[in-house]
Amino acid sequence: MSVLVDENSRVVVQGITGGEGRFHTEQMLEYGTDVVAGVVPGKGGQAVAGVPVYDTVSAAVRAENADTSVVFVPPGFAADALFEALDADLDVVVAITEGVPTQDVSRVSRVLDETDTHLVGPNGPGVITPGETKAGILPGNVFEPGPVGLVSRSGTLTYQIVDSLTARGFGQSTAVGIGGDPIVGTGFVEALRLFETDPDTEAVVLCGEIGGEDEEAAASYIDEQVETPVVGFVAGRTAPPGRRMGHAGAIVSGSGTGTAQNKIDALESAGVSVGKTPAEVVGHVADLLG
């Protein structure tokens, strides 16, 4: 079992003819993902890495039964691509694009609320269910199938923790990169809810970072509704207030909301073991799963 994507997922790549889209389509195919279609307006009829290209998402869905989209469309056109994906009634939409204007994401999120689609991102690495499929840009070779679910605001930090987990013999059920923007589709709470329904996820690692209050919301949710043990990590303890640390959403406000310490305190009071280092995170997982 897994969450969001599995071996049956049929992926359409929006923006497949761009550099990133083309490269990661090849990478996904190599990993074993069923990339069944690409979409680029005006380029219908072409093929990329043997994958047929359509002009619209609905044509791709009609012809190839796609149920999952991965979006590499540049920021200026990303919102429209996401509206199109939502209109096509897909199960999962993964937005890789970094730098989508925040007001656009707000409008997308407004439309998303009226659908049953799960949006992952924007500005994240996507989703992988090791051994089955990946929808995104995560490096497949560091992942192994297993019992640990991961949800994270950061790509490379996830790879770091997964690499250590794999080295210690703990594989992963699904890893979800929710993205580093101020507004994202699937947040921590929704990801935790999904993992809670997956019998094969025996523990969840939650990697947060400074900015916003999604980790605090996750802590309340864990306290009230999550049985699966959760191990936490929060990046940015040394981040100064008022400075954006790489991700658009990673900023401690001048008045002190969004600090790592707030988030760590909230998670710990919900019973989450929070590691001070990535190695400690793996240690906590080992304590839970032996």
Partner 1 sequence: MKLQEFQAKELFREAGIPTPTSRLARTVEEAVVAAEEVGCPVAVKAQVQVGGRGKAGGIELVESIDEVRAAANRILGMELKGYHVDRVLVEAAVEPANELYVGVTIDRGVGRPVAMVSTRGGVDIETVAAEDPDAIAREQIDPAFGMFEFQARKAVHEVGIDRSVADDVAAVLTALYDLWEERDGSDAEINPLLVTDDGVVAVDAVFNVDDSALFRQPDLAAVAEATATDELEQRAQDYGFDYVRLDGNVGIIGNGAGLVMTTLDLVEHYGGDPANFLDIGGGAKADRVANALDTVFADGRVEAVVFNIFGGITRGDEVATGINEALDRFDEIPKPVVVRLAGTEAARGMEILDTDRVRVESSLEDAVQAAVAAAGGRT
Active-site positions read 247
- 277 is a site residue for partner 1 (CB under 8 A): yes
Residue 38 CA from chain centroid, whole number? 20
Nearer to partner 1, 91 or 280 (CB): 280
Nearer to partner 1, 277 or 290 (CB): 277
- 217 is a site residue for partner 1 (CB under 8 A): yes
- 249 is a site residue for partner 1 (CB under 8 A): yes
**DSSP string spanning 230-252?**
EEEEEE-TTPPTT-B-SSTT-B-
Distance CA 17, CA 134 (A): 19
Only segment of 10-18, 62-70, 194-202, 250-258 that touches partner 1 (CB under 8 A): 250-258
Nearer to partner 1, 45 or 141 (CB): 141
- 101 is a site residue for partner 1 (CB under 8 A): yes
Only segment of 1-9, 62-70, 107-115, 222-230 that touches partner 1 (CB under 8 A): 107-115
Residue 109: count other Cβ atoms within 10 Å of its Cβ: 14
Pick from 2, 20, 130, 150: nearest CA to 72: 20
- 13 is a site residue for partner 1 (CB under 8 A): no
Cβ neighbours of residue 144 closer than 8 Å, sequence gap 6 or more: 130, 131, 166, 171, 172
Contact residues: partner 1, CB under 8 A: 23-24, 27, 75-76, 99-107, 109-111, 125, 137-139, 141-142, 152-160, 163, 180, 182-183, 207, 209-214, 217, 233, 235-240, 243-250, 253-255, 257, 260, 276-279
